[in-house]
Amino acid sequence: MIIGVPKELKSRENRVALTPDTVKDLIKKGFTVHVENEAGIGSFITNEAYQAAGATIKTKDEIYRESDTILKVNAPQPDEIRMMKRGACLLSFMWAATNPSLVEACVDAGISAFSMDAIPRISRAQKMDALSSQANLAGYKAVLMAADKIGKILPMMTTAAGTIRPAKVVIFGAGVAGLQALATAKRLGAVVEVTDIRPETKEQVESLGGKFITVEGDDSIIIEGGYVKNVSEDFLKKQQETVARHVKEADIVITTALIPGKKAPLLVTEDMVKSMRFGSVIVDMAVEQGGNVAGSELNSTVVKHGITIIGESNIPSLLPMNASDLYAKNIVAFLLHLATPEGFKWEMEEEITKGSLITHQGNPVHPSVLRTQHA
């Protein structure tokens, strides 16, 4: 099997799907690896490093024309998919339920496509969980970005001139990103409060030294596989009212709430932004899906009502060395589960295969895609 790694074309993307260490692993197992010229340059990986690991450097056209399997971070553009061999396979993030043109291009090209964001959240698939590996890095970096913009230090400090009180950080969401943000802010000496609609996260928050802001749930909340799938407008309003006082007193607010396949819920209203102390900072980690914060702008840092609002859409890409390293390990674990050097196993009823396969040899097969087509 020839594995192809094209250069990422998405704006602001510095990651790459394979690193030299993972190329070595694949070649030892009998795969052939082709890497596009300068595909790793955004992650500070040279062509020479890939060649030393055993990969062959190719042009983009050669990668798509010759490869049996394409590995990417972001899905190829429809024009690139049309360049793939019929019967070839794609492994990447796809967000298929909200990307019908991409699915259509895969169907038209007669390829099979697996989505990294659709891998089931089960213990057997932890090594393949790229959503978690990237969210971990994003949660860490979000705190550093906020700390860089806030005009004060985070820890308490006692000096001859007096005592500086610690900064207060409020985090929306105790998923992977939120918990890493909590741990990072605590290490930097801040007082941290966290709110999440899943009551079972309270213990995790408190184990990391955070204070849990309790919001009473209701029947509208649907949680599947660790993800929030649905929440009502009434509950979001109740949550806003409960946390408004905490936001008002915060120096830094970090929001991480996403609902797969839907617009991100609005958690911080304009009135809440206005209530914050002049000079405070908000990081909206959900900005690419519409944002959790009123006034956040995609890929921009803006000041509104005296509050700095950071709207970076691709935070893991700001840490490309670690992000590429972790993603490459995720995608190689996924590939080795699905295939051998001789080809894919096509265990269609196996849980990970069934959960992540979007199109199979040109036919849409994933329930989220079939629902979209029938809607």
Q: Express each pLDDT in 209-258 by its tens digit.
A: 999 998 776 555 555 555 555 567 777 777 778 899 999 999 999 999 88
Active site residue 220: no
**Is 227 annotated in the active site?**
yes
Q: Rounded distance, CA 177 to CA 285, Å? A: 9
Annotated catalytic residue, options 129, 196, 284, 325: 129
pTM of this structure? 0.92
Q: Quick check: is 65 catalytic?
A: no
| Nearest CA among 303, 195, 178 for reference residue 245 | 195
Annotated catalytic residue: which of 65, 82, 121, 187? 121
132 is catalytic: yes
Catalytic entry in 198, 227, 361, 368? 227
Contact 306, 278 (CB under 8 A): yes
Tokens found for residue 227 = 């993800």
| Size of the chain in residues | 375
The residue from 124, 126, 220, 245 that is catalytic is 126
Residue 126 a catalytic site member:
yes
Q: What is the mean pLDDT of the chain?
A: 93
What are the residue ranges of CATH 3.40.50.720 in the chain?
Answer: 2-118+320-364, 138-318
Catalytic residue (one of 132, 133, 239, 289): 132
Q: Kindly report, residue by residue over 319-341, the tens digit of the pLDDT.
A: 999 999 999 999 999 999 999 99
As a whole number of Å, the CA-based R_g of the chain is 22
What's the CATH class of domain 2-118+320-364?
alpha beta
What is the topology classification, in CATH, of domain 138-318?
Rossmann fold (3.40.50)
Q: Could you give the C-alpha distances from 118 to 96, 143, 154, 280, 354, in angstroms and in order?
A: 9, 27, 37, 36, 10
